[in-house]
Amino acid sequence: MSNLRAFLDMIAVSEIGKKLLRDSDNGYNVLVGGTLFHEYADHPRTVVRLRPDLSSSAAGRYQILMRIFDYYKVQLGLKDFSPASQDKIAIQLIRECRALDDIAAGRFDDAVHKCRSRWASLPGANYQQHENDIQDLRTAYVTAGGQLAQETPHV
């Protein structure tokens, strides 16, 4: 479980950045673009224009889109957009990527590779947005208490 918690922390660092994590409710109340929201009763449902060709409703520690929240709210029986609900959605996304066993075994690079389709900031996501360096993410994971297996990194 500590590897999973460290992986969630790494996603938050990747999606939000260390400074915003410190300056917020551990990232749980961050809107895409860096402003904060203050209620957890529902997804904030705010669409932010990031550049002329990109708008997003991403919010929370794992930058969950409004439509993704609406889907998982029903599927997982969630009552709100609280930190616990955000964690449950992130874990479900990781589960659907079939990365939970990799995380438990410390196969960090494999898990990141499998989850890259869910988070635009992960290397290889190819969403035409900023992607973080795998070594920086590995450092964030280890700093958060994650254990690494001996593995061959994905290229």
**Residues tagged active-site:** 15
How far apart, in whole angstroms, are the C-alpha atoms of residue 3 and residue 88? 15
Contacts of 56 (CB under 8 A, 6+ apart): 32, 47, 48, 50, 63, 65
Taking a C-beta distance cutoff of 8 angstroms, is the pair 35, 58 a contact?
no
Residue 50 phi, psi (nearest 5): -90, -30
Count the Cβ atoms, other than its own, within 10 Å of residue 155.
8
How far apart, in whole angstroms, are the C-alpha atoms of residue 46 and residue 59? 8
